Chain A
């Protein structure tokens, strides 16, 4: 059963078209992450689903019901904001129970729900405090609790962890994941942070300029980016790109200047003609340093220029045929600047994009 279905959604602010004919289907119990550069319309999409913005065109269904023109409170959603948006003059308990009181629920029921939510989020000790007396992480828990008590089917998160420091972010991230496993309701989560996206999501939607470019599970997005933008956006350090053309003479290979990389094993989506200009993308972590036994199908030499040790592994910067080229090696390996190194990769793990359209080939 579909939990949320968005059909041909458009939204304009005056002349600015923010969302353009967007379609999206989210299954029940799914954790969908919206990922994209700043200003691509993630918050706008979320606000449309929540009913905080009136859509220009299109329809939104939640649990098979057309909610396009319903008030936010009637849509069965809860939302958590980046700035927490707690009511500052009410205690934590007041914040949690305010909407329930307003909906005229019975006292026992309110108490039961507040107790339940505060147990799940481990904020029982904070119930009598005001938001000003809480840390950022605690505030965000309360904000999640405010959505939790309302017993909704869909949770919307708009960059909920962006205001927290790195350590807390990791902790709360795990907690949100646990919450999702426990409640098993639909969650839509907006973030800038790739790690958050990769770790939390069942599926990731990569957005750009009001459109969903790719909607897939994290693994596929990482391994088979649908175009060069997605490939650049996902992964840190970013993918290396080499510009060249296809050489289709005997077997398909990639030609950059005079060098030929055999592409045996790469799954082309289409038949690619000879001399077609393309980008070859390969992730730094898919590069292997050959020490003696040449095992990789494709091999080439580079000169080490800069070394960035990052603990578990070391990032090495170099150039290949005029293109910047990064690769990671094991953190314990000794590497010297100026050293010539032989690298290799498996065509199975690369991506080829058309030069013009930048789509995956």
Chain B
């Protein structure tokens, strides 16, 4: 069976700098894969490559077994993407933002479905008809997450989804992601939260200066060993 997401010896050069170097991994259907790494390690770049926004300079990147380069539209239609900074329109309300972007995605969603999604991310009812320029960072993040949910795509690419969320919202978000994976959605998320990643992910990959330097999987239905990941993470300065 082909994996929904696969990086094959992926290399990437951005403005002359090697950002990714021979990175290979796959994410199976219904799996949650968390990509950890320091600032500038290449996490966000990896997601952008899956979306076809960046072209690999070596190797290949596949979505549902098809090379992204050969059919960008196909890849994008299978993926819901949560960007690093919740990029939505400040001059529009949450409802208007969702309505607009879902329309662009050719995705029909009823008012009830939209409210249900906003409920799942716990965005206050009274805030939903307010323009986003009056939102806090976390509220904006919640709206962006709701958009990714509403797309109902088989694959989710989430770039630091918990950034800006309060502790309770983070816990709720983790439950939400697990439920989505159980429903069959494939999730690749990028995060700085080692503890959270180990709690929610089936597998954790450690990216350091463009190289995948470690991979940790949950064994025997147990959580990933947070201490081991932490230790591996801490090694970075030793190079």
Q: Do A and B come from one complex?
A: no
